[in-house]
Amino acid sequence: MGQANQRGSFAERLAQSNEAKRNAAEALGLVLRNLDDIRAELGVPQDAPFLGYLVHIPDSDEFLLEYKDTPQATSRSWTKNPGAGRRFADFAEAHMIARPDREMVVGLFETSTQFLIAEVL
């Protein structure tokens, strides 16, 4: 039997992963917020779909494009285009990668004419 099967079904492993992400977010002091509340608070149009979370460098207005972490090195590449940035479904995932001294996590929304980024924390 494969090692993954020994840890449970796919649904069970997915539930374990989601629980671990929730626990990490709580440990960071993060609070789950409703997207409609964020849209209203930040002035994002209600019909603008939420596309995910991005890691953003405000000083240079760049967005994480690629992230690789190996035992030998961690590498990051950046883009000026928020639409091309690496999207995270969970805030906690993006937050764990962002370096607190220079990067922040933003939400990515799309209107019919442009991408909008909004600070969500």
Instruction: Read off the pLDDT of residues 61-117 as tens digits, 9 standing for 90 and up.
Output: 999 999 998 899 999 999 999 999 999 998 888 988 999 889 999 999 998 888 988
Instruction: Read off the pLDDT of residues 3-62 as tens digits, 9 standing for 90 and up.
Output: 555 667 777 776 777 677 677 767 777 666 778 887 888 788 888 899 999 999 999 999
Residues 42, 10 share a domain: no
Residues 37, 23 share a domain: no
Residues 45, 67 share a domain: yes
- Residue written as token pair 């883009």: 79
Range(s) of the domain holding residue 102: 33-119
Residues 40, 17 share a domain: no
Residue 109, pLDDT score: 93
Residue 1, pLDDT score: 47
Residues 38, 9 share a domain: no
Residue 14, pLDDT score: 66
What's the half-sphere exposure (Cβ side, CA atoms, 13 Å) at 43? Answer: 0
Residues 48, 82 share a domain: yes
pTM of the shown model: 0.74
What is the spatial distance between Cα 119 and Cα 121, in angstroms, rounded to a whole number? 6
Distances (CA, A) of 19 to 6, 13, 16, 90, 93: 19, 10, 5, 12, 13
Q: How many domains does the chain have?
A: 2
Residues 43, 99 share a domain: yes
